[in-house]
Structure 1
Amino acid sequence: MAKKSSKHKPDPDIEASDETPPPNEVKKKRKAESEQQVDASTGEPLKKKKKRKRDAMEEAEKDTGDATAEAPPKKKKHKNKTGLADPREDTALSNQASKGLEYAFLQFHRPYKWKFNKARQNWIIRNVWSAENVPEMYLPLVTKYLTNVQGGSRTKLIETCQSILDRPQKSEAEKAEDTEKKSSLKVPVPEPSPVEVATIGDQRARAQTLLDALASPTVVQ
């Protein structure tokens, strides 16, 4: 009976010399070789040069993104379809007048954004008689707003209008008599300025306009 041949045992020295190095050793070797490579023109390591280029690209992208984010969105302008004067771009108005008139304008221009503000309404009621704070072009706006006022404020407005209209007006004879009395006095009494006279007439005209509007049925918005 033939003997079984024994298995061939590899020579330890030969096997060790032909063995493939571990993957991590290969990576380390390649990394070391890449770090040693330099740019022929500058003498700078290629790895650092690539990293610097990548950082510069990332910084440029970041700046572009920031510029885009900082750009303010364009506001859509809504056309004024109310038929009333728009006080929003009137630079001649004072700060308080702008706030009061813009508040009234918003009620008709964008009703869904309008919110009642007691302080703004009180300002309008106090200044409706002032041609300086409420110029003539905004009188239809203010009048329309005040026609919606209710309660005690509405009652007080009507009383104020009536009291202005009930002020006695002097006849021409009475005015002449007053002038004669003033001229006989030792201390001259200054005549009312044209502005004061115009203010009195303007208040009467506004009182009549507002009283007529308040007498009409309330406009429900």
Structure 2
Amino acid sequence: MAKKSSKHNPDPDIETPDETPSPNQVKKKRKAEGEQQVDTSTGEPLKKRKKHRRDAMEEAEKDTRDATAEAPPKKKRHKNRTGLADPREDTVLSNQARKGLEYAFLQFHRPSKWKFNKARQNWIIRNVWSAENVPEMYLPLVIKYLTNVQGGSRTKLIETCQSILDKPHKPEAENPEEKPALKVHVPAPLPVEVAAVGDERARAQTLLDVLALPTEVQ
């Protein structure tokens, strides 16, 4: 009968020495033990807690940057050097009046940004006679703009001025008991002479005098 190998039938009374673990096994064992370690106060794995702490620090730094970030710079407003009244700051004008007057103002304030708009020009031509839509302080601006109008619009504008002046003019009867109206002076440079502003007839005469001049003189 063949004798069985002691390798397959180890003696239980004899201890078999443990095999020496490889470096990779040691590394994996330590990694597993590290993942299983928990914080006794929170019960969370230490690695996960470190991640949460890092996220919290990053969030705090972000909030600090947002709080200390400078406000976006305001758009620089170009100084008015035209000598004309600026309608952009007038809160009394109607919405349509402001758009029309701002359109005319932009032509002289920032010519490179100005673009022709037929609707805006037609509004100015229709309302140049209205002291409500075109107050006294903006009449020099409107007249200066209209001096550059050409073609059929210019011809029609001259005809309108002439028709207003051809109407019979009835001066109002003077009342000795009526107190004279106070004249309010508006400190605005006038590039053209404007007399009796607010009177349709006076506006027509002033505009006609300017339109009658040669273009190069204007």
TM-score using structure 1 length = 0.70
Aligned length: 182
Q: Displacement, 1:219?
A: 6.2
Check whether the contact 2:130–2:198 (CA below 8 A) recurs between aligned residues: no
Matched letter for residue 35 of structure 1? E
C-alpha distance in structure 2 between counterparts of 1:119 and 1:68, whole Å: 47
Q: Summarize the alignment of residues 45-60 of structure 1 with structure 2, pairs less than 5 Å apart.
A: 45-60=45-60
Q: Summarize the alignment of residues 108-187 of structure 1 with structure 2, pairs less than 5 Å apart.
A: 108-170=108-170
Residues 10-40 of structure 1 deviation map (CA, whole Å, 9 limit, x = unaligned)? xxx99x9346332xx4443333222233335
C-alpha distance in structure 1 between counterparts of 2:112 and 2:68, whole Å: 32
- Give 1:214's aligned residue: 211
Q: Aligned pair in 2 of structure 1 residues 219, 103: CA closer, same or farther (>3 Å)?
A: farther
C-alpha distance in structure 2 between counterparts of 1:156 and 1:120, whole Å: 16
Check whether the contact 1:147–1:219 (CA below 8 A) recurs between aligned residues: no
- Give 1:20's aligned residue: 22
Matched letter for residue 101 of structure 2? L
Q: Summarize the alignment of residues 60-139 of structure 1 with structure 2, pairs less than 5 Å apart.
A: 60-61=60-61, 72-139=72-139
- Give 2:186's aligned residue: none
Deviates more, 1:63-72 or 1:156-165: 63-72
Deviates more, 1:208-217 or 1:120-129: 208-217
Matched letter for residue 127 of structure 2? N
Consecutive unaligned residues of structure 1, counting only runs of 5 or more, are 1-12, 176-198
Percent of paired sites with the same residue: 83
Residues 39-80 of structure 1 deviation map (CA, whole Å, 9 limit, x = unaligned)? 354443221221112222344455567779995441011100
Q: Displacement, 1:166?
A: 1.1
Check whether the contact 1:165–1:208 (CA below 8 A) recurs between aligned residues: yes
Residues 149-198 of structure 1 deviation map (CA, whole Å, 9 limit, x = unaligned)? 000000000011111111112378xx7xxxxxxxxxxxxxxxxxxxxxxx
- Give 1:189's aligned residue: none
C-alpha distance in structure 2 between counterparts of 1:171 and 1:82, whole Å: 36
C-alpha distance in structure 1 between counterparts of 2:198 and 2:134, whole Å: 15
Tell me the secondary structure at the aligned position of residue 87 of structure 2: coil
Check whether the contact 1:87–1:101 (CA below 8 A) recurs between aligned residues: yes
Matched letter for residue 137 of structure 1? M
- Give 2:201's aligned residue: 204
Matched letter for residue 151 of structure 1? G
Q: Displacement, 1:215?
A: 1.7
Aligned Cα root-mean-square deviation (Å): 3.3
C-alpha distance in structure 2 between counterparts of 1:31 and 1:100, whole Å: 76
C-alpha distance in structure 2 between counterparts of 1:56 and 1:142, whole Å: 62
The structure with more helix, counted as a fraction of residues: 1
